[in-house]
Amino acid sequence: MITAVNRPAALHINLAAIKENTRQAKDHLKPGQKLFCVVKANAYGHGAARLAPVMEEAGADGFCVAMLDEGLELRRAQIVKPILVLGLQPAEEAALAAANDISLPVSSLDWLKKAEKVLRKEGLQLKIHLAIDSGMGRIGFSEDEDFKAVNEYLQGNDAFFVEGMFTHFASADSADASYFDYQVKRFKHMESLLTVKPKWIHVDNTAAILFDKDVASDIVRFGIGLYGLNPSSAPGSQDLEPAFALKPAMSFVSELTYVKQIHKGYGVGYGSTHIAEEDEWIGTVPVGYADGWIRKFQGFKVKVGDTYCPIVGRVCMDQFMVLLPKEVPAGTPVELISADPAAPNSLRRAADWLDTIHYEVACQFNDRLDRIYDNE
């Protein structure tokens, strides 16, 4: 996908905010804990290859990604610190991961057997983390006998280095701790079955550290908080108070490329879902659903100059239209997303409008959008 650098539309990423959020997390660690920054999904839409060195400078001890390709991107960006892939990868890719010193999760004995054949052929050793399904229902060991069999298989097996054991909490961001406590209990049970000794045992995610969940973890996998966003945010709910202040890093700016007056009875956009009830001023913004600014944003208010204006008509592939209170010149700045968490067009408010979470909004902004990094 081509990045549109010649279009007046870009995501602005505040590097000072990224550094501050990373340092805050680092300072909040318990003695001996490591900070692994989660930069999957292109650093939640913020730009992984550009931000990983910034996080490293601010104190990151390692990085987490969702897939091997994301880890390889970090290695190409000259990141040398540990990288852990959180999602399962084909066993055939074990040698590629090992050759690039990237750790992979393990969720079955069958996977280990297939991976070992690949590793033996290449004469490589793979760092692995044993994934435990303590109640997320996604990946990982959940049955005692399966986990015991894997431990037995790994005893003295030099094709693998057991670097870690981990799980992921489904509800560490909830005020109701009952299911969190259940998962902790399940994980501790699986830990008691270990006969191999991992270097790191880790469970803490962003929510666990921000809301001071008291559970032992050698690594904190810090994700959405790096970007200044509260993991407890959800439509119709009040954010939980984090242990330390977060500073949002992303804003989304463009400008009006065209302004015209339409007359009563004129329609705007595909399907003419907006019909002018009187003469109106309409402005066009060069952003559309092909950029991740989806059609459900119809009706959402963006800031045009100093005024919040509603999106009228359906969002098009490459453009959308806003209803202006009066004639304003083409070139007037438009702020689609504000980095101010109190603004009506913050990522949180945009997510509320779409009836989703801000994770999804940030991640759907794709590579057609230019990313400009400020305050280095």
Among candidate residues 30, 185, 264, 270, the one labeled active-site is 270
To the query of whether residue 373 is one of the catalytic residues in this protein, the response is no
User: Which has more confidence, 143 or 237?
Assistant: 143
Among candidate residues 19, 26, 40, 213, the one labeled active-site is 40
Q: What is the per-residue pLDDT across 239-262, written as a single tens digit (0 to 9) for each?
A: 889 999 999 999 999 999 999 999
Handedness of CA 88, 91, 97, 103 (dihedral sign): positive
The position carrying tokens 């501050």 is 20
98-102, 148-152, 176-180, 193-197: the lowest-pLDDT one: 176-180
Q: Strand, helix or coil at 307?
A: strand
Give the start-to-end residue ranges of the domains of the chain: 15-227, 250-338
Q: What is the per-residue pLDDT across 128-183, written as a single tens digit (0 to 9) for each?
A: 999 999 989 999 999 999 999 999 999 999 999 999 999 998 876 676 778 888 99
What CATH number belongs to 250-338?
A: 2.40.37.10
Identify whether the C-beta of residue 204 lies closer than 8 Å to the C-beta of residue 30.
Answer: no
- Report the chain's mean pLDDT, rounded to a whole number: 96
What CATH number belongs to 15-227?
A: 3.20.20.10
Q: Strand, helix or coil at 227?
A: helix
Q: What is the per-residue pLDDT across 279-289, written as a single tens digit (0 to 9) for each?
A: 999 999 999 99
- Region 190-194: mean pLDDT is 97
Distance, CA of 18 to CA of 58 (rounded, Å): 9
Q: What is the per-residue pLDDT across 352-363, written as a single tens digit (0 to 9) for each?
A: 999 999 999 999
To the query of whether residue 270 is one of the catalytic residues in this protein, the response is yes
Handedness of CA 133, 138, 140, 145 (dihedral sign): positive
